[in-house]
Amino acid sequence: MKKLLCLCLLAGSSLLAHAELRVFATVPEWGALAKEIGGPRVSVYTATHAQQDPHRIEARPSLLAQARRADLLIAAGADLEAGWLPVVQRESGNAAIQSGRPGYFEAAAQVRLLDVPAVLDRAHGDVHAAGNPHLHLDPRNVLKVGEALVRRLGELDPPQAAAYQAAFRDFAGRWQAAIGRWEQQGAALRGVPVLVHHQSFVYLSHWLGLREVGMLEPKPGVEPSSGHLTALLARQQGQPARMVLRAAYNSDAPSQWVAGKTGVPVVLLPYTVGGSPAAGDLFGLFDDTLQRLLQALR
Partner 1 sequence: MLCSSRWVLAVAGAFVSLPALAGDPDLQALRAEIGQMKAAYEQRIAALEARLQSAEQQQIRTQSAAAVEVPPASQAAAPASGFNPQVSLILQGQYKNMKDVAERGITGFVPAGGHDHAADGIEGISKRGFSVDHTELVLAANIDPYWRGQAILAALDGEVEVEEAWFQSLAIGHGIGLKGGRLRSGLGYLNEQHPHAWDFADSPLMYRALFGEHGSYTQDGLQLKWLAPTPVFLEIGAEIGRGANFPGSERNKNGAGAGALFAHIGDDMGLEHSWRAGVSYLRTRAKEREAHFADINGSEAVGAFDGRSSTWVADFVWKWAPNGNPKYRNFKLQTEYFQRREKGDLSCFDEELAGNACDPLAAGDSVTSRYKTRQSGWYAQGVFQFSPNWRAGLRYEQLDSGSRNFGANAANLIVDSYRPKKTTAMADYSWSEFSRLRLQYAHDQSMRGLTDHQWTLQYIMSLGAHGAHKF
Residue 239 touching partner 1 (CB under 8 A): no
- For the bound state, the minimum distance from the C-beta of residue 185 to partner 1, rounded and expressed in Å, comes to 28
End-to-end CA distance of the chain: 75
CB of 94 or CB of 205, closer to partner 1: 94
What is the C-alpha to C-alpha distance for residues 50 and 226, in angstroms, rounded to an integer? 27
Q: Cα–Cα–Cα angle for 81, 84, 86, nearest 5°? A: 85
Which of 6, 9, 19, 90 touches partner 1 by CB under 8 A?
A: 90
- For the bound state, the minimum distance from the C-beta of residue 43 to partner 1, rounded and expressed in Å, comes to 12
Stretch that binds partner 1, among 92-100, 183-191, 201-209, 235-243 (CB under 8 A): 92-100
CB of 91 or CB of 281, closer to partner 1: 91
> What is the DSSP annotation of 200-216?
GGHHHHHHHT-EEEEES
Length of the chain as a residue count: 298
Tell which residue, 148, 156, 112, 106, has the closest CA to residue 132.
112
Q: Cα–Cα–Cα angle for 164, 14, 150, nearest 5°? A: 15
- For the bound state, the minimum distance from the C-beta of residue 280 to partner 1, rounded and expressed in Å, comes to 17
Site string for partner 1, 97-136 (x = CB under 8 A): -xxxx----x-xxxxxx--x-----x--xx---xx-----
Q: Cα–Cα–Cα angle for 129, 192, 255, nearest 5°? A: 65
CA distances from 268 to 124, 178, 239 (A): 26, 22, 22
Residue 9 touching partner 1 (CB under 8 A): no
Tell which residue, 255, 273, 289, 280, has the closest CA to residue 50.
273
Residue 78 touching partner 1 (CB under 8 A): yes
- Spell out a b/e string for 3-29, using b for 16 or more CB atoms within 10 Å of the CB, else e: eeeeeeeeeeeeeeeeeebbbbbbbbb
Residue 207 touching partner 1 (CB under 8 A): no
Which of 8, 9, 12, 62 touches partner 1 by CB under 8 A?
A: 62
Interface with partner 1 (CB under 8 A), residue total: 56
Residue 79 touching partner 1 (CB under 8 A): yes
> Which positions from 17 through 56 interact with partner 1, judged by CB under 8 A?
48-49, 51-53, 55-56
Residue 60 touching partner 1 (CB under 8 A): yes
CB of 193 or CB of 221, closer to partner 1: 221
- For the bound state, the minimum distance from the C-beta of residue 152 to partner 1, rounded and expressed in Å, comes to 14
Which residues partner with 74 through β-bridges? 25, 105
Which of 4, 40, 61, 238 touches partner 1 by CB under 8 A?
A: 61
What is the C-alpha to C-alpha distance for residues 98 and 84, in angstroms, rounded to an integer? 14
Which of 94, 199, 272, 289 touches partner 1 by CB under 8 A?
A: 94
Q: Which residues bind partner 1 (CB under 8 A)?
A: 14, 48-49, 51-53, 55-56, 58-62, 64-66, 68-69, 77-79, 82-87, 90-96, 98-101, 106, 108-113, 116, 122, 125-126, 130-131, 221-223, 249, 251
